[in-house]
Amino acid sequence: MAKVSIFLVGLMLLQCWVAMTDAEHLKYKDPKQPLNTRIKDLLNRMTLEEKIGQMVQIDRSVASADVVNKYFIGSLLSGGGSVPKPQASAEDWINMVNSFQKGALSTRLGIPIFYGIDAVHGNNNVYKATIFPHNVGLGATRNPALVRKIGEATALEVRATGIQYAFAPCIAVCRDPRWGRCYESYSEDHKVVQAMTEIIPGLQGDIPANSPKGVPFVGGKKKVIACAKHYVGDGGTVRGINENNTVIDRHGLLSIHMPAYYNSIIKGVSSIMISYSSLNSKRMHANHELVTGFLKNELNFRGFVISDWQGIDRITPSPHANYTYSIQAGINAGIDMVMVPLNYTEFIDGLTLLVKNKDIPISRIDDAVRRILRVKFVMGLFEDPLADYSLVHELGSTEHRQLAREAVRKSLVLLKNGENADKPLLPLPKKAKKILVAGSHANNLGYQSGGWTIEWQGVSGNNVTSGTTILSAIKNTVDKNTEVVYKENPDLNYVKSNNFSYAIVVVGELPYAETKGDSLNLTIPAPGPDTITNVCGGVKCVTVIISGRPVVIQPYLQTIEALVAAWLPGSEGQGVADVLFGDYGFSGKLPRTWFKTVDQLPMNVGDPHYDPLFPFGFGLETKPNKAI
């Protein structure tokens, strides 16, 4: 009996020793271990199924904790408008993200997910978030320090919802305003775009001193993974057609479209998204030379490369026509994480078979997973995988709204101010008997925010989120005895017969995103032109254009006494009134050339046929006059 007891005790001690030894060897769970040691240890423990799961990013609409657990999913996302519920609170978002995270943590190895969202001008999908001006407006500020602050605020508002990954910034160099994504570009000039990559340390934090070039960095729980996009040449497509072909020689590519990627990589950007477009007829999602050869090998980018939404489906001329080929071409080109938002099992099965058949080498899979794990370790995701409610107060905070208002003020470009310099119309007097505010965009929060706001294509109306319309801002600013009359589209007789002191007309483009924004005519939608003609034909007026790009304005320019390009200012319309009424001066400069007619396009500064209505960099200035 004693011998049996001794044997049992010995067996128990042996089991304890084995367990302790195994625990000691879980180096990937030990934050004190060197980064590469943790990556190598975890990678060596992973099955092919677990590795492929890390390479998959799916939309929340098809996800659950069980799905994340079963397929070892590495990442989730919310596409435009994909929300937990209408008008979801920060707490609702956190609870959803954490539920998916718990599915990941309950897998054999417990590798946490990160969750991505298109936070392209603030955390713009989320109800009551601060909506900053779109990138074209930020380009007009010429103020990298301001853009960095916007990155910091956006990171806090993204983290406030439990999300760790922002698909921003877009560092496209839009060379043709007919492109539906032109407002996502800071400028036609790569130097302005390069300067605005300062948003990356705002989002991610400053990389540590002496950090090797190309190594990704995310500085803790108040920062997010940034994503430079869309690699490369997305802003140069023929006639500005979205997802089309960019025809350019190597010198042009490296001197116009590539420079902002150099800055992004130096600043430690953690991910780079591939463009839907082609380069000289080669689909970027299948471009091994530029993704692996140039980006990874020459530029030494050590973060991960992610596809766009269903990006590998579009490698074939007819989307999804030969999916096995598309998987092979995309992964072998160097894509590490694939956004397969809906049909993820088809991708997983296809990739698994290609690896088993040696059509894709396991070394390529290991490279992809190593890059994804590096970012997860660097950002501390293994130590802090679950979000708490400590940052919910950051969503739409007063401080962030004040920052957005400042950005609006600095983004406004004054194109015309009176018939001559001696008789400026702006700044407008706050004290006036009666003023007219007109136009489709004067009292529409959704219109002034543009696409990528609450929903993918944007929205119309004032109950969509929190903010201040331009009409409300005008009423907030003028003297209490000034009568403000709002009429969306008055006729000329009405304008002439009401004895207005002056009028403010606010018109522009309707919201759009991506291909739906492609336009060959760039005209202001009806009844905008009639509103300008009727109002400005009857009383002295300032016209404020709300648009993602220059639009046709030359036919109305003689009628308009003062003209302001306000771009897509976002939720804080008070910034427009701040400058119109002289509390602050105009300081913005055109980030893009303003054409005379669309027949001139494409036309960019430096072109031999350059003959603009307003040149790149143009912008009249006014002095603030607080006594008005």
Q: Say which CATH number the domain at 73 has.
A: 3.20.20.300
Whether 514 sits among the annotated catalytic residues: the reply is yes
Q: What DSSP character marks residue 616?
A: T
How confident is the model over 146-165, as a mean pLDDT?
Answer: 99
Residue 301 domain boundaries = 48-394
What integer pLDDT is reported at residue 11 of this predicted model? Answer: 53
325 and 425 share a domain? no
> Residues 393-421: pLDDT tens digits?
999 999 999 999 999 999 999 999 998 88
Query: Of 394, 426, 451, which one is at a domain's C-terminal end?
Result: 394
Find the length of the chain: 628
Give the lowest-confidence range in 4-8, 237-241, 588-592, 598-602: 4-8
425 and 319 share a domain? no
384 and 425 share a domain? no
365 and 424 share a domain? no
Q: Is residue 40 part of a domain?
A: no
> Residues 188-231: pLDDT tens digits?
999 999 999 999 999 999 999 989 999 999 999 999 999 999 99
What's the CA gap between 535 and 428, in Å, rounded?
A: 16
Whether 308 sits among the annotated catalytic residues: the reply is yes
Q: Is residue 241 part of a domain?
A: yes
At residue 18, does pLDDT exceed 60? no
535 and 591 share a domain? yes
84 and 198 share a domain? yes
Q: Is residue 2 part of a domain?
A: no
389 and 515 share a domain? no
Q: Is residue 304 part of a domain?
A: yes
Quote the mean pLDDT of the chain.
96
What is the Cβ-side half-sphere exposure of residue 179, based on CA atoms within 13 angstroms?
30
Q: Is residue 85 part of a domain?
A: yes
Q: Say which CATH number the domain at 540 has.
A: 3.40.50.1700
Q: Which of 50, 118, 198, 308 is catalytic?
A: 308
What integer pLDDT is reported at residue 625 of this predicted model? Answer: 87
Q: CB 70: neighbour CB atoms within 10 A?
A: 14
390 and 418 share a domain? no
Q: What DSSP character marks residue 562?
A: E
360 and 438 share a domain? no
At residue 1, does pLDDT exceed 70? no
Q: Is residue 186 part of a domain?
A: yes
152 and 258 share a domain? yes
Angle at the Cα of 472 (from 467 to 476), degrees rounded to 5? Answer: 110
> Residues 364-391: pLDDT tens digits?
999 999 999 999 999 999 999 999 999 9
Helix (H, G, I), strand (E, B) or coil at 67: helix
Q: Which of 176, 189, 514, 518 is catalytic?
A: 514
Output the pTM of the full model. Answer: 0.96
Total structural domains in the chain? 2
Query: Of 362, 394, 426, which one is at a domain's C-terminal end?
Result: 394
Q: Is residue 208 part of a domain?
A: yes
> Residues 60-107: pLDDT tens digits?
999 999 999 999 999 999 999 999 999 999 999 999 999 999 999 999
Q: Are strands 278-279 and 282-283 parallel, antiparallel or unpaired?
A: antiparallel
371 and 450 share a domain? no
What integer pLDDT is reported at residue 100 of this predicted model? Answer: 98
Query: Of 344, 359, 394, which one is at a domain's C-terminal end?
Result: 394
What integer pLDDT is reported at residue 326 of this predicted model? Answer: 98
Reported confidence tier of residue 19, pLDDT bands at 50, 70, 90:
very low
Q: Is residue 628 part of a domain?
A: no
70 and 218 share a domain? yes
Residue 509 phi, psi dihedral angles, 5° rounding: -80, 150
